[in-house]
Amino acid sequence: MFLHTTLIVDTFAEAFRLRFARLLVTAHDAYWLDAALRAVTGYGTSVIGCDAEVGTERLLDAGDTPDGRPGGLVSLFAFSTEAVGKAVANRVAQCLLTCPTTAVFDAMPAEQERIAVGSHVRFFGDGHEKTKVIFGRRFWRVPVMDGEFLVEETAGVAKGIGGGNFIVQGRSLDAALDAARRAVEAVAAVPGTITPFPGGVVRSGSKVGSRYELLRASTNEAFCPGLMGREPTSLHPDAACCLEIVIDGVDEQAVAAAMAAGIRAAVGPDVPAISAGNYGGKLGAFHFHLHQVMKPA
């Protein structure tokens, strides 16, 4: 299959079940919102080594938030509800409680499975914290130096999908970087998805296992241009560099739509091929075949 001049390799992305929470973070203005979002999503790239995969799903105008201030939806993905709960509690306490002017709302109040947020952070108030029910939901007001930190007592947790991906193969480093940026921008417009890696892009694509017993994952040599001729390769003969876009989403439809949007944006004369990463179907229950994902295109 070709999309314009780019070969869409007949392979699949292998994804797996994760749990996720979604927080709505607001702040006084765009500057402090950006500071809060950068902090809370930091070191949230891969569940291989991080507490969660975290990203800003989208920004919200002041008219679309509960307190009439600029906001952003943050999604946090991990393997279990317990792991999501720990990541949310730690990141809210360390990154959002500390950031001037922020407030935190649960963006999935209808979910029955709940984790502690404000009921964890409230203890920082040292007995001066107060509780308040607003539009039928319980919040905590924690006194801080700029006034108070308003945070919802709990947050909902739902089933999601992690590890959707595609691999952009460029004729040069510049070509791969440009294509990857176009892809990330396109994925950002798809509701219910995040690209948790730096700038939405992974240069260190991995495989399961390693010759070193302590590692659960290691470099995917089939996509390393420096190893061509020394190891079996999955790179197109005209490719000099490749970069991976990893997508987490609320369901299969969201991940497939994000993959299709990203691939369509990435293709071009300087991108000879687009592939995907999988582990032979042995790791994840969700297989996104590129040809099927791209059929509407």
Share of the chain above pLDDT 90, in %: 93
Share of the chain above pLDDT 70, in %: 99
Mean pLDDT across 44-53? 95
Calpha distance 78→88 (Å, rounded): 10
Return the half-sphere exposure (C-beta side, CA atoms, 13 A cut-off) of residue 131: 13
Going from the N-terminus, what domains does the chain have, and what CATH number goes with each?
A: 2-15+161-293 (3.30.70.520), 19-158 (3.30.70.520)
Please identify which residue in the block is written with the tokens 């964890």. Answer: 120
Token couple for 141: 């007001």
Q: How does residue 297 score in pLDDT terms, banded at 50, 70 and 90?
A: low
Q: How many of the other CB atoms lie within 10 Å of CB of 271?
A: 29
**pLDDT tens sequence across 244-288:** 999 999 999 999 999 999 999 999 999 999 999 998 887 889 999
What pLDDT score was predicted for residue 281?
A: 84
Q: Is the pLDDT of residue 22 over 70?
A: yes
Cβ contacts of 77 within 8 Å, gap of 6 or more: 18, 19, 20, 47, 52, 53, 54, 84, 160, 162, 194, 196, 248
Q: Identify the residue with better confidence: 238 or 280.
A: 238
Q: How does residue 38 score in pLDDT terms, banded at 50, 70 and 90?
A: very high
What pLDDT score was predicted for residue 283?
A: 82
Q: Is the pLDDT of residue 52 over 70?
A: yes
Please state, rounded to an integer, the average pLDDT across all residues of the chain. 96
Maximum distance among all Cα pairs of the chain, rounded to whole angstroms: 66
What pLDDT score was predicted for residue 280?
A: 83
Mean pLDDT across 148-173? 98
Is the pTM here over 0.85, yes or no? yes
